[in-house]
């Protein structure tokens, strides 16, 4: 795997993170409408810990955002070009370590249905299902939990 660095994101990264979300091929078909309204704004960084993964040329590979209270992984995206290269695992491992450092015992994830298997492979356990919330989502979403060691 190429060199990947994970650094704290800031408001100056907002537009780039929004573009990464909206370009995700995971959000096609019935999922397209939900991602079209996602916008990472400057205010987003005040309420969350946001970290980005970049390659050796500072190209954005992915990012995650963590809500501290109640503890929840708000977003995790890996660019289509970086899929299958271990970037998602690096971001999850980093998120778990950050959670441990700030004293969290666990982190909730309300997953996009196609990513349920990814989170399970990363050791999250399924704890339930979150009902659809029209007009934002018209589908049920898996609810998972990462235990923080």
Confidence grade of residue 139 (pLDDT, cut at 50, 70, 90) = confident
**pLDDT mean over 39-55:** 95
| Residue 30 pLDDT exceeds 80 | no
- Are the C-beta atoms of residues 23 and 79 closer than 8 Å to each other? yes
Residues in the chain: 149
Query: How many structural domains compose the chain?
Result: 1
By three-state DSSP, how is residue 31 classified? Answer: helix
Full domain range(s) for residue 90? 5-147
Query: Count of CB atoms within 10 A of residue 21's CB?
Result: 17
Backbone Cα Rg of the chain: 15
Q: Residue 58 sits in a domain of what CATH number?
A: 3.40.630.30
Instruction: Return the pLDDT at 87.
Output: 97
Of 27-31, 52-56, 74-78, 116-120, the least confident: 27-31
């Amino acid at each position: 795997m190429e060199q990947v660095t994970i650094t704290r994101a800031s408001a100056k990264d907002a537009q780039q993170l929004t573009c990464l979300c909206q370009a995700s091929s995971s959000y096609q078909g019935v999922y397209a409408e939900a991602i079209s309204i996602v916008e990472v704004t400057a205010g987003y960084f005040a309420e969350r810990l946001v970290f980005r993964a970049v390659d050796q040329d500072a190209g954005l590979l992915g990012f995650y955002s963590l809500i501290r209270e109640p503890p929840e992984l708000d977003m995790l995206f890996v660019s289509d070009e970086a899929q299958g290269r271990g970037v998602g695992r690096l971001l999850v491992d980093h998120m778990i370590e950050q959670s441990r450092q700030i004293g969290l015992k666990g982190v909730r994830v309300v997953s996009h249905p196609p990513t349920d298997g990814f989170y399970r492979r990363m050791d999250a356990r399924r704890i339930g299902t979150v009902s659809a919330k029209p007009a934002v989502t018209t589908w049920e979403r898996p609810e998972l939990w990462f235990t923080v060691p």
